[in-house]
Amino acid sequence: MKEEISTIVHVDKPRAVKDPEYARSLGRTPSFCVFDERFIGDVVGSDPKIQLIEERRGKGEQFAHEAGVYIRETNSVYFTSNFQTCDPINLYAINCDTHEIEKLDYPDVVQANGACNYPGKTASTHSSGAGNGGEEPDRLLYCSQGDQSTPSALVLVNPVTKESEILLNNFYGREFSSVNDVVIHHGTGDVWFTDPTYGFEQGFRPEPVLPAQVYRFRPSTKDCYALVDGFDMCNGLCFNPDYTLLYVTDTGAVKARSHSGNGRKFQADYRNAATIYVYDVVDGGTRISNRRAFAFCDSGVPDGIKYDENGYVYSGCGDGVHVWAPDGTLVGKIIVGCTTANFCFVKGGIWMFSEKDLYFCRIQAKGALVKIECE
């Protein structure tokens, strides 16, 4: 039987604020770590469980790193490996029933990182004309980081036919640095994505010609807009359910220098950002304003980020998945004891991509996009 975690730890907050060693110890043992009772009532429920589905610790292979996209037609979750041990980065899919893992190959997707579901069935409602009105299944929209000779791009893949299409690979002639994560604004059909410089720092992309920024791309008009800069390393992003807020993670505290170990060894400087920022979405869902810090990650950096139906914000961090209430209060942590760069909501819980380990976590909460993408 695969390893299961069901331990619930209630944090002694009066002690934690005065005892640093106790506070640090809370992230060492796999558990559901409760900082606020809302974590039990609204998020994980009374009987949560974490199951280890696949582990490759013996091989030292960081096979489960990023993306995490559910596709109805294949009943599978698609994810990517880490460049640190897999060159090139590998693409995988796990069947949600059988747990069989398939290695994939899409030639247009080069050094993939994040990804999202690009809807087919609901596309006719998009005012921007994205999609096809339901004539095709949902597709995968990959962040293809590129390499020394291939531009970084957004690439659409049909997981059934394996056909692919490059949506965008430059900003009016300037190549993107290494497109990292992507989401869809389902009200407009626009594609929002981050572009930090990790590809250069990891040694597989040329020197950047653009700053780390968040962009918006409208597929129907082919217009691309730079929305906001000022990041150290913009990374994950997500909307709240009514698309009035945009959350963006900044992982500047962890970088991989191109001159250090051929770019493969990450270096941490925790004086830099490990921060989630939030913005107001304005002008009919086309612009953002009023940047402010929403939360700071105390373990590693906040990478992938998601929202649930009750307004809670989740982010993959250095010891698992951390969860905050809408006001920024840390309510709990799903601790697996290792970096969890990203995760994916499906019916019944979340898949957690913890580098050498792949977990399924059964919780009560439902992701904000589960009705759109999974049902």
The answer to which of 154-168, 189-203, 253-267 has the lowest mean pLDDT is 253-267
Nearest one of 53, 43, 66, 58 to 249, comparing CA atoms: 66
Overall residue count recorded for the chain in this entry:
375
Contacts of 256 (CB under 8 A, 6+ apart): 84, 198, 201, 202, 203, 263, 264, 265, 266, 267
Q: How many CB atoms lie within 10 A of CB 327?
A: 7
The answer to which of 193-207, 230-244, 304-318 has the lowest mean pLDDT is 193-207
User: Is pLDDT of 260 > 50?
Assistant: no
Q: What is the DSSP string of 175-236?
A: PPS---EEEE-TTT--EEEEE-SHHHHTTSSPPPSS-SEEEEEETTTTEEEEEE---SSEEE
Q: What is the pTM of this model?
A: 0.94
Bigger pLDDT: 86 vs 345: 345
Residue 259: what pLDDT? 54
Mind listing the pLDDT tens digit for each residue in 49-64? Answer: 999 999 998 777 899 9
Residue 97: what pLDDT? 95
- The SS3 of residue 342 is strand
User: Is pLDDT of 85 > 70?
Assistant: no
Residue 148: what pLDDT? 94
User: Which CATH number belongs to the domain containing residue 45 in this structure?
Assistant: 2.120.10.30
Q: Give mean pLDDT, residues 300-323.
A: 97
Residue range of the domain that includes 342:
4-373
Residue 255: what pLDDT? 82
- Binning pLDDT at 50, 70 and 90, where does residue 9 land? very high
Give percent above pLDDT 90 in the chain.
82
Mind listing the pLDDT tens digit for each residue in 285-295? Answer: 999 999 999 99
What is the pLDDT of the chain when averaged over all its residues? 92
- Binning pLDDT at 50, 70 and 90, where does residue 132 land? very low
- Binning pLDDT at 50, 70 and 90, where does residue 2 land? low
Number of domains within the chain: 1
